[in-house]
Structure 1
Amino acid sequence: MPDLSALAWAALALAAVAVGVSKTALPGINTVAIALFAAVLPARASTGALLLLLIVGDWFAIWLHRKHARLRALLPLIPAVLAGLVLGSLFLGVASDAWTRRVIGAILLLVIGVTLWRRRRGAPDDQAPTGRIAAAAYGTLGGFTTMVANAGGPVMTMYFLAARFPMRAFLGTAAWFFAGINLAKLPFSIGLGIIQVPTLLMDLALVPGVVLGAFLGRALLGRLDQRTFERIVIVLTIAGALYLLLA
């Protein structure tokens, strides 16, 4: 078990709650967890520790939103995501922590800008970016960013928002997507030495926070309408991108 101060444990517990809320109600708030883990732990260790908690949260999200998922929408993404995971693992071997954050932050701001531009332009539903080119671009970026910093959520959030998924379909489809992608990351993370025994022990102590956050998110979800949901997600995603770019 890592030797951490009481304040550090409190920050990690708050991050665990944020993971649960992000999986069941507000995807963008996951950036809070990324920031807190990165502040308490070394960058590589924080990536591995957070990954295991994200997997726990994924299964709560599937349980809550499984009836609303559009699984066919995920099929075009699979090859690109796998390519992104490989690129991300290679990038981790050569890039510094600072450059990793800045590259991801710049990518997220670009994706957000494109999404908001399309919405402002009033692109109709039949022009939503769900074709092969869009799936390849978003999938590769999503796989890359989630491999290097568990930050694929904002990229895929923009994909699902741009595709105009209703709120519950958004959450259900994203739940299955990230459950699959996070499990796929495990062999890469173990091979890179990012996940070790102390990481497992620490995460066992933090799992109750994820469970609490999942139920808090479930309660919050009933109070959100589609427009409010989308606005909150976009604002949180922008905040996360700026944090990664400027931290």
Structure 2
Amino acid sequence: MNALLSDPAFYFAAVPAVILVGLSKGGFGGAMALLGVPMLSLVVSPVQAAAILLPILIVMDVVSLWAWRGFMDRRTLSIMLPGAFLGIAIGWATAAVVTEGHVRLIVGFVTLAFFLRWVFEKVAGRAHIANQSRSRGTFWGGVAGFTSFVAHAGGPPYQVYALPLGHDPRVYTGTSVVFFAIVNAVKLIPYFALGQFDRSNLTASLILIPLAPLATLAGVWVVKRMKPAVFYPFMYVMVLIVSLKLIHDGLSDLMGW
């Protein structure tokens, strides 16, 4: 790792990765967050990239929690978090047999179907506002916890449940910030147990961490100034980009492209 940290190519990949993830953690859509691990994987293995980014994500979560304090929907959290904990446990238990490629492909197709349903409703002139549902929320919370653990792709399943609730953008973003802050904190336990936090990875994380607050606050600044009429179409476009990105990455992993 010492050789890696002295390699300019590492910083050319890692700095943009952290900035994009930080903008996303500030509330600026999940598509950019999905670029973090693949971008860093240009210079290290995907597993090592995920391990390096997780402590940085924790710092971003702390900044986001402060920036979005007071904006959250407790009902959504109480419904989704128990499922998320179960999903993380399943991801931990199946870490040796489940591939990221399969997870990304499945989540990508589900998310694409979610976007296409929104487009159909727009064309038909219907606005789909969903009510809270413990069964649906537990299911999608579980999927979000599982995919977040296995492939750092928890955003799309979360959005499938939370976006149709039609919350104020600040409430939607604040709730997602709390949800993923808790999910990432819980993920630390199995990540330590699986031996993904060695000294070299943590050193790389510490070097990159100063970028985390700046990028996150930039995302917060943008989202807090977006009106609902702009925010929700923007978020659904991000959902489309995320779905296509996941499908591409899943196919690449499985086909060896």
**TM-score, length basis structure 2:** 0.85
Whether the aligned pair in 2 keeps the contact of 1:115 and 1:158 (CA below 8 Å) is: no
1:72 partnered with 2:75 = yes
CA distance in 1, matches of 2:3, 2:117: 43
Q: In the aligned structure 1, how far is the partner of 2:123 from the partner of 2:77?
A: 26
Q: Which amino acid aligns with 2:80?
A: L
* Partners of 1:129 and 1:123 in 2: CA distance: 13
1:127-166: per-residue Cα shift (whole Å, max 9, x none)?
A: x152112112211110111010111012213322111111
Identical aligned pairs, as a percentage? 26
Greater mean alpha carbon deviation, residues 136-145 or residues 30-39: 30-39
Code of the residue aligned with 2:3 in structure 1: it is: D
Question: 3-state DSSP class of the match of 2:69?
Answer: helix
Q: Quote how far apart the aligned CAs of 1:84 are.
A: 0.9
Match of 1:41 among 39, 44, 47: 44
How many residues end up aligned between the 2 structures?
245
Question: For the structure 1 residues 246 and 76, does the alpha-carbon distance in structure 2 shift closer, same or farther, using more than 3 Å as the test?
Answer: same
Q: Which residue of 1 aligns with 2:64?
A: 61
Match of 2:174 in 1: 172
Amino acid paired to 1:225: K
Shift of residue 171, structure 1, vs aligned partner: 1.2
Aligned to 2:183: 181
**Cα-to-partner distance string for 1:183-236 (whole Å, 9 max, x where unaligned):** 011111111222322111111111122122022223323442212222222222
Higher helix share: 1
1:136 corresponds to:
138
Structure 2: tracts of 5 or more residues without a match = 250-257
Match of 2:3 in 1: 3
- Distance change in 2, residues 1:97/1:76 (3 Å): closer
Q: SS where residue 55 of structure 1 aligns?
A: helix
Contact 2:100/2:151 (CA < 8 Å) preserved in 1?
Answer: no
Matches within 5 A, 1:44-123: 44-114=47-117, 122=126
For the aligned residue pairs, the C-alpha RMSD in angstroms reads 2.2
* Cα contact 2:156–2:239 (8 A) shared by 1: yes
Q: 1:198 corresponds to which residue?
A: 200
Q: Quote the residue 2:219 is aligned against.
A: 217
Task: Select between 134-143 and 219-228 the one with higher mean Cα deviation.
Answer: 219-228
* Structure 1, unaligned runs of 5 or more: none
**Aligned partners of 1:231, 1:241: CA distance in 2, in Å?**
15
- Is 1:27–1:157's contact at 8 Å kept on the other side of the alignment? no
C-alpha contact (below 8 Å) 2:104/2:153 kept by paired residues: no
